[in-house]
Amino acid sequence: MDFKDTPEEAQFREEARAWLTDNVPTEAEMEGLDFMERAKLWQKSKYEAGWACLRWPKKYGCKEATAIEQVIWNQEEAKFSNLPLGVFGIGQGMAAPTLMTWASDEVTDRFIPRLASGEDVWCQLFSEPAGGSDLAALRTKCERDGDDWVINGQKIWTSGAHYSDWGILVTRSDPSVPKHKGLTYFFLDMKSPGVEIKPIKQISGDANFNEVYFTDVRIPDSQRLGEVGQGWQVSITTLMNERASIGGGSSPVRFSSLFELAQKVNIDGKPAIEDSSVRAKLADWYCQESGLKYTGYRSMTALSQGAVPGPENSIGKLVGAPKTQDMASFAMDLLEMSGAVWDPEFAPEAGLFQQAFMGAPGGRIAGGTDEIMANIIAERVLGLPQEPRLDKGIPFSEVPTGS
């Protein structure tokens, strides 16, 4: 048991690190570029050198690398803090595998290289206001009209809709059959007439998501993926490729930030870190963070040995999200009467704790609520049975909706 790479992994890491050292642009080189321009510049540079989308087939100009090589690349790339990452995540992580599985060669030959090189940005149009955890309860309608389909409805929680070129979209083609059987899947040009995008303001003040409205939007039938009515199976391909998060993900508030805060503020005239109730709380959070970290190491070891990341990785979000909320809340308690003050010049770490507190409710919901994460562990890791399903086998239009 050790923390070392295998010889092959070490060599790969060395190559990656060398290329990154030589090629990561300096701040000067990116001066004047906005976030999207920087992201595209960097993606293109990687693509041209063969370092983009490492695991994709060689025919698209990629390396066909292993899963652990991808992890190693990510680790090394993450060491350069000025790189604008994330913009291509949905396109490369979800849309591309779906296209590779379900689209014609013509489509993949056209789109996959553009996805790899960062020429196109994609978004995912699945969630709906009435859906939530029950994703397949979506209502956005598609109706056939000649060679086109006409789309009407509303999607929600669409990250990056406003800067995306293309989108993947699931719609309901037949409400008279059971929920999962009446769906049809498309990709569409986000600049199509009738697509309207509105940002959603969150309580944290951020607006990371959008609502997307469809009014008589036309999509050519050639942009359908899978058969009519087969949309759920296509969606499964997309969802299975939702990037398995290894380890705990990154939380804005960590043990170390609280530990430092507790050294700085006083309780009854002594540093809070000397107070044993503070120590007990910090110890528990340390144990959780450390447990997630080494769970991640174990997952990486499995990956290194060729395993596929499974539902057990839900643990990171299930533990991490409420922990962030409670830690942020506790940090504000340590500040006592000044805890609620969010002015960055007054609040410690420029308001990190207040910001994290306001962002945490979203963290416990977006990407699967705490409750859904617990269900996933119960059902898919422990093998416990599903809840009784009252919507099974009945026409979607007859499933109770409360409205």
Partner 1 sequence: MNFEFNEDQNLLREQAQGFLADNCPPAAVRAVLDGDAEYDADLWQKIVEMGYTATVIPEEFGGLGLSYLELSVIAEELGRVAAPVPFSSSVYLATEAILMAGSQEQKEAWLPKLAAGEAIGTFALSEGHGRATAEELQTSVSDGALTGTKIPVADGGIANVAVVVASNGLYLVDLDGAGAERESVRTLDFARGHSRIDFNGAPAEALGDPSDGWALTQKLLDRAAVLFAWEQVGGAQASLEMAKEYALGRYAFGRPIASYQAIKHKLADMYVKNTLARSNCYFGAWALDTDAAELPIAAATARVSSTQAFYYASKENIQTHGGMGFTWEFDCQFYYRRAKLLSVNLGSESMWQSRLITAVEQSNAA
Q: Cα separation of 360 and 357, whole Å?
A: 5
**Rounded to the nearest whole angstrom, what is the least distance from the CB of residue 389 to a second copy in the complex?**
9
Tokens found for residue 204: 């944290």
Q: Which of residues 98-127 bind partner 1 (CB under 8 A)?
A: 127
Residue 352 touching partner 1 (CB under 8 A)? no
Residue 390 touching a second copy (CB under 8 A)? yes
Residue 400 touching a second copy (CB under 8 A)? no
Kindly list the catalytic residues. 242
Q: Cα separation of 222 and 227, whole Å?
A: 11
Q: Cα separation of 53 and 115, whole Å?
A: 9
Taking CB under 8 A as the criterion, the residue among 388, 400, 402, 403 binding a second copy is 388
Tokens found for residue 56: 């994709």
Q: Which is nearer to partner 1, 204 or 230 (CB)?
A: 204
Residue 250 touching a second copy (CB under 8 A)? no
Residue 401 touching partner 1 (CB under 8 A)? yes
What residue has token string 């207040």? 354
Q: Which is nearer to a second copy, 7 or 388 (CB)?
A: 388
Q: Cα separation of 289 and 231, whole Å?
A: 39
**Rounded to the nearest whole angstrom, what is the least distance from the CB of residue 136 to partner 1 in the complex?**
9
Q: 148-156 and 141-145 as β-strands: parallel, antiparallel, unpaired?
A: antiparallel
Residues 8-47 as x/- pattern, contact with partner 1 by CB under 8 A: -x--------------------------------------
Residues near 176 by Cβ (< 8 Å), separated by ≥ 6? 182, 395, 396, 397
List the one residue out of 231, 230, 229, 197 whose CA is nearest residue 214: 197
Q: What is the largest CA-CA distance in the chain?
A: 78
Residue 78 touching partner 1 (CB under 8 A)? no
Residues 123-162 as x/- pattern, contact with partner 1 by CB under 8 A: ----x-xx-xxx--x------------------xx-----
Residue 384 touching partner 1 (CB under 8 A)? yes
Q: Cα separation of 119 and 91, whole Å?
A: 11
Q: Which is nearer to a second copy, 286 or 297 (CB)?
A: 286
Written as one string, the DSSP assignment of 230-244 is BHHHHHHHHHHTS-P
Residue 242 touching partner 1 (CB under 8 A)? no
DSSP 8-state class, residue 80: -
Residue 172 touching partner 1 (CB under 8 A)? no
Q: 266-267 and 183-189 as β-strands: parallel, antiparallel, unpaired?
A: unpaired
Residue 327 touching partner 1 (CB under 8 A)? no
List the one residue out of 307, 331, 321 whose CA is nearest residue 359: 321
Residue 213 touching partner 1 (CB under 8 A)? no
Classify residue 145 as exposed, middle or buried by CB count within 10 Å of its CB (0-12, 13-18, 19+). Answer: exposed
**Rounded to the nearest whole angstrom, what is the least distance from the CB of residue 343 to partner 1 in the complex?**
5
Tokens found for residue 339: 């805890």
Q: Which is nearer to a second copy, 227 or 274 (CB)?
A: 274
Q: Which of residues 259-318 bind a second copy (CB under 8 A)?
A: 267, 275-280
Residue 286 touching partner 1 (CB under 8 A)? yes
Q: Which is nearer to a second copy, 22 or 387 (CB)?
A: 387
The one segment of 45-53, 163-171, 182-190, 276-284 that binds partner 1 by CB under 8 A: 276-284
Q: List interacting residues with a second copy (CB under 8 A).
A: 267, 275-280, 387-388, 390
